[in-house]
A and B are shown apart, each in its own frame.
Chain A
Amino acid sequence: MTTIAVPPTRFVSPAKALRHGFSLAWRGLVKIRKNPEQLVDVTIQPIILLVVFVYLFGGAIAGGTGEYLQTLTPGLLVQNTLMASLSAGVALNTDVNKGVFDRFRAMPIARSAPLVGAVLADVVRYLVAIGVLLGMAMIMGFRVHTDPLSVLVAIATLVLAGLCFCWIAVFIGMLVPTPAAVQNIMMAIVFPLTFGSNVFVPSATMPSFLRAWSDISPVSRLADAMRGLLTGGPVAGPLLGGLAWLAAVVLVFFPLAMRAYRRRVS
């Protein structure tokens, strides 16, 4: 029997902690590969939204499907990333419920590893969600009128938005009892947030209270930034507004999420 010859250390080194995070992210990806239906809500669902809105409402809302596709796609990318950003919370909650979390907690790994793993795996989901939706939109006739660099900035901004918003889901995920509850609560947040924005219809058509909100809402700001980056138009203003929102979300929810998480892992 080879027992540990060197005495165990008190803490995990940051390099090891990162490796543990990557190992757990690998696990998340294997799970996605095995159950690709996990991705339905961020691939098939937005495609259905895209098709329905463009062909059904496009004429009524924007006076033509082609024009509507150009304004809807950038906004839908934002909504879709927000939807994707709730999976880390769901995944962590599932692990807590299934006892998998306890196994990790009883191991000499970094406390942060399951969290880092879940968030890293999320990034892949964001990229898949963005890629599938953008691809479908292109097939339907969406055209990028800017340069590749702008597209890269757009994708980076979306990933950043996901990484900022995911702390809401992580926070909720550490508080509520079941994965389904996380999902439902997050839906109740994401849906009003995205429908109460200029993603689907221009703010100008809304009643004044809604327009007031829609004009400053994070989703509208980010949607406008995406429009600027992908189809041309002003970028700096909406992007700054969006980034300010993201900073605010992180400032509020990251500490809350970490506190709730620490309470669960310590």
Chain B
Amino acid sequence: MSLAIEAEGLVKRFGETAALNGVDLAAPAGKVVGVLGPNGAGKTTTVRILATLLRPDAGRAMVGGYDVTGDPHRVRSLIGLTGQYASVDEDLSGTENLMLLGRLLDLSRAGAKARAVRLLEQFELTEAAGRAVKTYSGGMRRRLDLAASLVSRPQVLFLDEPTTGLDPHARNEVWQMVRRLVADGVTVLLTTQYLDEADNLADSIVVIDHGRVVAEGRADELKRRIGGQTIQVRPNSAADMDAVARIVADLTGMIPARDDDVGLITAPVSDPVLLSAVVRRMDTAGIVVDELALRLPSLDDVFLALTGKPVAEVAE
């Protein structure tokens, strides 16, 4: 399988700050790579280097087979970029913004207009199409920014936190759009603070922290790497919490975590066979259970384990 994005040993310093400390990254053509990392990890810096906006101090990156520093113009003809912050002209209308980009991409006037209309429709901005962008809400601006990166029909698309600030409906739309693009063969690299976004969209995930890749793989691989599974039991009656905790402790040999507010007992398990033993013991004790599950750690757990920060703090 050919690689659409290939980066080796990217280093970038801003004065004293080492934003990137040797980042390696690869994206097979037609796949989605998710880049996860806390604030200041180096996600934006990575994207900007790959999109030819920044020169790395060391390392090398190829996009669509072209070197980002040696042949930036060719790279630019292949890529689309939606940066972390809006980069549309506030004084122009949505249509004018997209038409300008179309004209700059050598479309005819009619071609640029048609493309603008089509994209505005796709991003549900038709009604606001003629209004100056400064009257748009944050989410509308974000959507226009995404539309702007698609005018060129890019083969490789960079999305830096594409859904930050979008409502659930708009986020869903963006996810759908990414899936459609990928079905058409586009390679997508997206950074995100939302673990479920990476979980949902990305074929592979790269976790970076302090300018280094701290883990990479498919979502389920990462979850497995973090270690065993967790058993969760939610008794029907709060009166049974103690009994359940005892049973789980007995069988797993670990003191379970209990959350009395939601009535949930959880404990790590090394052997999945334990599940049936738990069921039998509770049956014997006559405890009615609302929920009984064995689950892989969530990406949140993975993230926490890898970067040492809980997601809430990371997302600020």
Binding site for B on A (CB under 8 A): 1-4, 7-12, 16, 19-20, 23-24, 26-27, 30-31, 34-35, 98-100, 102-109, 113, 266
Residue B275 lies at the interface, judged by CB distance under 8 Å to chain A: no
Q: A8-B77, A34-B132, A35-B91 given as contacts; is B148 within 8 A of A3 (CB)? A: no
Minimum-distance CB pairs A-B, first 7? A8-B77, A99-B87, A1-B184, A108-B77, A103-B87, A108-B76, A23-B103
B87, A11: Cβ atoms under 8 Å? no
User: In the complex the two chains form, is A27's CB within 8 Å of B78's CB?
Assistant: no
Select one of B71, B148, B152 contacting A10, CB under 8 A: B71
| Residue pair A99, B85 in contact (C-beta under 8 Å) | yes
B90 contacts the other chain (CB 8 A): yes
Q: Judge whether A102 and B92 touch: CB under 8 Å.
A: no
A99's closest neighbor in chain B, by CB?
Answer: B87
- Using known A-B contacts A10-B71, A107-B104, determine if residue A34 contacts B148 with beta carbons closer than 8 Å: no
B26 within 8 A of A: no
Residues of chain B within 8 A (CB-CB) of A99 are 83, 85-87
The interface residues of chain B, by DSSP majority, are classed as loop
Query: B314 near A: Cβ within 8 Å?
Result: no
Specify which of A4, A19, A105 is in contact with B78 (CB 8 Å cutoff). A4
**A31–B89 alpha-carbon span in the complex (Å):** 9
Tell me how far the C-beta of A8 lies from the nearest C-beta in chain B, rounded to whole angstroms: 4
Residues of A within 8 A of B83 (CB): 99, 102-103
Given contacts A106-B76, A113-B104, contact A30 B53 (CB under 8 A): no
User: Who on chain A is nearest to B181 by CB?
Assistant: A1
For the complex, give the distance between the alpha carbons of A99 and B297 in Å: 39
CA distance A7 to B155 in the complex (A): 12
B13 at interface, CB cutoff 8 A: no
* Complex Cα–Cα for A7 and B100 (A): 23
Assembled-state Cα–Cα distance A173/B32 (Å): 39
Q: B74 contacts A27, CB within 8 Å?
A: no
Are B132 and A16 in contact (CB-based, < 8 A)? no
CA distance A1 to B152 in the complex (A): 12
Q: How far is the CA of A12 from the CA of B100 in the complex (A)?
A: 18
B153 interface hit (Cβ, 8 Å): yes
B53 x A105 contact (CB < 8 A): yes
Task: Let me know if A8 and B78 touch, CB within 8 A.
Answer: yes
Q: Which of A31, A103, A106 contacts B52 (CB 8 A)?
A: A106
Contact residues in B for A11 (Cβ distance below 8 Å): 73
Give bound CA distance, A117 to B78, whole Å: 24
A102-B53 CB under 8 A given contacts A27-B92, A107-B105: yes
**B89 and A100 contacting across the interface, CB-CB below 8 Å:** yes
A interface footprint on B65-81 (CB within 8 Å = 1, 0 otherwise):
01000010110111101
Given contacts A30-B92, A105-B53, A10 and B153 within 8 Å (CB-CB): no
Distance of A16 Cα from B152 Cα, bound (Å): 16
Q: Does B221 contact A (CB under 8 A)?
A: no
Taking a contact as CB atoms closer than 8 A, the residue among A7, A20, A102 that contacts B104 in the complex is A20
Say whether B51 faces chain A, with CB atoms less than 8 Å apart.
Answer: yes
A82 to chain B, nearest CB (A): 25
**Bound-state Cα–Cα, A16 to B105, Å:** 10
Beta-carbon nearest neighbor of B86 in chain A? A99
Cα of A10 to Cα of B152 in the assembled complex, Å:
17
Give complex CA distance A210, B183 in Å: 73
Pair B73/A12 contact, Cβ less than 8 Å? yes
Nearest chain A CB to B17's CB is how many angstroms away?
18
What residue in chain B is nearest A33 (Cβ atoms)?
B91
Residues of the A chain whose Cβ atoms lie less than 8 Å from the Cβ of B88: 100, 103
C-alpha spacing A8/B78, complex, angstroms: 8
Minimal Cβ-Cβ distance residue in B for A16:
B106
How far is it, in angstroms, between the C-alpha of A10 and the C-alpha of B91 when the chains are bound?
32
B226 proximal to A (CB < 8 A): no
Is B52 in contact with A10, judged by CB distance below 8 angstroms?
Answer: no
List B176-200 residues whose CB lies under 8 Å from chain A: 184-186
User: Is A8 within 8 A of B73, CB to CB?
Assistant: yes
Give Cα A20–Cα B132 distance, bound, in whole angstroms: 22
Whether B278 is near chain A, meaning CB under 8 Å from some CB there, is no
What separation, in Å, do the CA atoms of A107 and B79 have in the docked complex?
8
Task: Name 5 extra pairs, CB < 8 A, besides A4-B77, A102-B83, A103-B88.
Answer: A1-B184, A9-B74, A27-B100, A99-B83, A102-B81
CB contacts (< 8 Å) of A10 on chain B: these are: 71, 73-74
- Contact (Cβ within 8 A) B96 A30: yes
Contact assessment for B186 and A27 in the assembled complex, using a CB-CB cutoff below 8 Å = no
Q: Distance in Å from the Cβ of A242 to the closest Cβ of chain B?
A: 35
Q: Which residues in A have their C-beta under 8 angstroms from that of B77?
A: 4, 8-9, 108
Interface residue? B274 (CB, 8 A): no
* B39-74 contacts to A (CB < 8 Å): 51-53, 55, 66, 71, 73-74
Min CB gap A77→B, angstroms: 28
B73 touches A23 (CB 8 A): no
